[in-house]
Structure 1
Amino acid sequence: MPVGALSRDAAGVVGAGAVSREGIWQRLHAMGEHRGRRGRVYPLAVLAAVWLCALTAAGHDRVTAVIEWLAGTTEEERRRLRLPYDPFDGYRLPSESTIRRFLNDTDDARLARALLDPPLADPAPPKPASPEAAGEAVRAVYALDGKTSRGAKRADGRQVQLVGVADQATGRLVNQHEVDSKSNETKAFRPVLEPLDLACDLLTFDALHTVRDHLDWLVTDKKAHYLAVVKGNQPTLRAFLAALPWADVPVADTTHDHGHGRDETRTLKAATVEHAEFPHARQAVRIQRWRREKGRKPSRETVYGITDLAFEQASAGFLADAARGQWIIENRQHHVRDVTFGEDASRSRTRRGPVNLAIFRATVAHAVRAAGHRYVPAGRRACKTATAALDLHGFP
């Protein structure tokens, strides 16, 4: 039997007797293969495990760094990575071109399903007669927002734009979609949400995505709820909300924050609305922010929002927390990936490379936090060895 064939067969056997946490190997193998059998040595699952574990260690944010990380692994660590074993030469390490091709050519939707562990929608879910029949309690709250990878530019000079969805409770990214080159961020609304099970969940987003068709689809097809910000892109609706008799509506929720030289007070008023001429709208929300920063003049901002949740389904305090939680995706995803992983400075631009790198970075950030580390950089520094990274992600 040729040595190459033996190596390929061994890749599926080494470590096969172990049991992984929540089937990490099963999820990775579920990505399938887009490559032909001929000349294939390393399964996609193995290359994904290499990328994930290498990127976990601080300072390993480039393809060359992944190769250096692999070179420093022990025999036992290579066994746990399920690298192909050659009886003459030992465990075989993938080349830089192999590592790079995996990053650029792997389908990001499959990688997201394997690593982000999203709440996947049932292909044929039972549809209740009305949104209310799906249950009055909100199960979870998600935030949707876009991000530009400033260092990654396509051949036509366009920057890579990503739209992601994160769990407000944990900051965990659950799905991501790249904006088409001939489109804009609004067109990514449905593709990024379509695979997710959002029944009885609440989705928050900025004014850019406050579009009639989107909200109707979200409530009717996905059986979800929305809290939408209303600004100038919906002038008629904004004028309607601004004209409501807010002076007669009592303040329902007030929060105070102090930190980093800034004092901020937020008040929220909520009112039941009729004839809003917007899909499924049941409550209007007005949020006023008073902010005072050291060395600057005090500022005041008024933001209007609308939701399909009735007064009986969502308290003012809940809506205030959900509106503020929109920043979770910025603070715990975008900021961390830019500052800790250098996403804005990354020059990866080929095909699926930028999108897949963002998925790996989000996965590492969540794993580090789930392990009890308050700060992601400290968690990455704690994974200096490949064994620590393998243990972190639950590889047997």
Structure 2
Amino acid sequence: MHPQSAMPSPALSAPAEEEADPRDRRGRRHRLGCIVLVCLCAVLAGARSLTAIGQWAANAPPRTLARLGARTTCPGLGVRTAPSTATIRRVLTSLDPAALTRMTTAADLAVLIIDGKSVRGSRTRRSQAVHLLAAMTPAGHVAAQIRVADKTSEIPALADVLDGLDIEGSVVSADALHTQTDTARHLVSERKAHYVFTVKGNQPTLFAQVKALPWAKAPALSTETDRAHGRVERRTVKVLTAPRIAFPHAAQVLRVHRWVKEAATGRVRRTYAYVITSLPAERADAARLAGLVRGHWRIEALHHVRDVSFGEDASRVRTGHGPQNMAMLRNLVIPLLAELGHTSIPEAVRWVSYEAFSRPLDLLGLA
């Protein structure tokens, strides 16, 4: 018996659902909550497109439609009707993505990882690919996601994706693109949060400063070894305080030495990663800082899962909010699939698909 995660359905039938529904009231034949549940179930079962979601709904048996709360069209016989592909398409392309996030998530905000991703399949001759910026927990649960405006960068969008979230006391982790003085001041001085930023060559002065610290004299405070995917990886962590680092609120600097040996060839690679944080030593020792870095790397791996296992980059959903909402659906189902205990997400999707009209509903906690 595989463990099951529950995503309670009441959040999808709350009064806010009516306010979020983009359709004219006179044309609503199916509840918004039901349509969103249909989409989640279909994606859990392996649907990669709006057409595939519609096909799952069209083939759902009566018992499944009843559990989803589908519209009753013949009360005497208890006949229920699933939303059509056209209805699903209309809702997902017009629904405010922020509303979908609010309706389906309740994330712990102690740690938030900021990461961006382009949905390459959404590119057209007249417009560039939709680029999304998300705030996620280390487990992959989405707290917020926004579309980065065309011809702009992720840097100013970081404040926007966190707007509306109570992040006081939270730790915000981001890659080197966001290692900016204004961002650091915004997070610590204005939002009362902490940052964990990667340091690379896009900030040459800062990078030179952290690289020049006396790392040879610093003790190795944490070492981990992993064996997987045909390689052995050893990560050694050193931490130094940052009294002379010219960066707002900098308290500590972390260096991760990664030693990787390929089992098949014997080839060895060594790399160094540098991280700066506003967290003082009394709040974050080497083990905690290493865990925060690993959490960020896991989120980057999640993007690979969306591309490879769910065909996100091949998706041709381009209209309106469709690309963002489809990405949000994938974000929501991946943690549920990961908790099933299978060796990979594709294996978990296959397991769900063997009973495509019951197992997705069980995972969502629908009676």
**In which range does the TM-score fall when normalised by the shorter chain?**
0.7 to 0.9
Q: Percent identity?
A: 39
CA distance in 2, matches of 1:35, 1:94: 14
Query: Closer, same or farther in 2 for the Cα pair 1:263/1:66, shift >3 Å?
Result: closer
- Contact between 2:140 and 2:331, CA under 8 Å: does it hold in 1? no
Q: Looking at CA atoms only, which structure, 1 or 2, has the larger radius of gyration?
A: 1
1:300 aligns with 2:289: no
Query: Closer, same or farther in 2 for the Cα pair 1:304/1:65, shift >3 Å?
Result: closer
2:84 is matched with 95
1:158 is matched with 128
* Equivalent position SS for 2:101: helix
Letter in 2 for 1:33: D
| 1:4-23 matches, cutoff 5 A | 21=8, 23=10
What are the ranges of 5 or more consecutive residues in structure 2 without an aligned counterpart?
Answer: 1-6
Deviation of 1:44 after TM superposition, in Å, equals 1.9
- Contact between 2:9 and 2:364, CA under 8 Å: does it hold in 1? no
Letter in 2 for 1:187: P
- Contact between 2:255 and 2:272, CA under 8 Å: does it hold in 1? yes
* Superposed CA RMSD: 2.4
Instruction: Select the residue among 272, 276, 290 that pairs with 1:320.
Output: 290
Deviation of 1:210 after TM superposition, in Å, equals 0.5
CA distance in 1, matches of 2:346, 2:11: 24
CA distance in 2, matches of 1:257, 1:374: 16
1:130 is matched with none
CA distance in 2, matches of 1:77, 1:260: 39
What are the ranges of 5 or more consecutive residues in structure 1 without an aligned counterpart?
Answer: 1-19, 121-139
Instruction: Select the residue among 5, 14, 34 that pairs with 1:46.
Output: 34
Instruction: Select the residue among 244, 248, 262 that pairs with 2:231.
Output: 262
CA distance in 2, matches of 1:297, 1:144: 33
Deviation of 1:254 after TM superposition, in Å, equals 2.2
Return the TM-score normalized by structure 1: 0.82
Query: Closer, same or farther in 2 for the Cα pair 1:94/1:317, shift >3 Å?
Result: closer
1:309 aligns with 2:296: no
* Equivalent position SS for 2:25: coil
Deviation string, structure 1 residues 259-296 (Cα, Å, up to 9, x no partner) = 33323332222111224221111112222223333437
Return the TM-score normalized by structure 2: 0.88
- Contact between 1:55 and 1:66, CA under 8 Å: does it hold in 2? yes
1:116 aligns with 2:105: yes
Query: Closer, same or farther in 2 for the Cα pair 1:234/1:33, shift >3 Å?
Result: same
Deviation of 1:104 after TM superposition, in Å, equals 0.6
1:34 is matched with 22
Deviates more, 1:384-393 or 1:225-234: 384-393
1:105 is matched with 94
Instruction: Select the residue among 32, 52, 72 that pairs with 1:65.
Output: 52
CA distance in 2, matches of 1:267, 1:242: 16
2:258 is matched with 289
- Contact between 1:179 and 1:188, CA under 8 Å: does it hold in 2? yes
Deviation of 1:30 after TM superposition, in Å, equals 6.3
| 1:377-396 matches, cutoff 5 A | 377-383=346-352, 384-396=355-367
| 1:169-184 matches, cutoff 5 A | 170-184=139-153
Query: Closer, same or farther in 2 for the Cα pair 1:391/1:107, shift >3 Å?
Result: same
CA distance in 1, matches of 2:83, 2:9: 26
Number of matched residues?
355
Query: Closer, same or farther in 2 for the Cα pair 1:296/1:183, shift >3 Å?
Result: farther
| 1:331-370 matches, cutoff 5 A | 331=301, 333-370=302-339
Query: Closer, same or farther in 2 for the Cα pair 1:153/1:296, shift >3 Å?
Result: farther
Letter in 2 for 1:325: G
CA distance in 1, matches of 2:197, 2:356: 45
CA distance in 1, matches of 2:225, 2:73: 63
* Equivalent position SS for 1:86: strand
* Equivalent position SS for 1:386: coil
* Equivalent position SS for 2:313: coil
Letter in 2 for 1:99: I
Deviates more, 1:255-264 or 1:322-331: 255-264
CA distance in 1, matches of 2:272, 2:344: 33
Letter in 2 for 1:195: G
1:253 is matched with 222
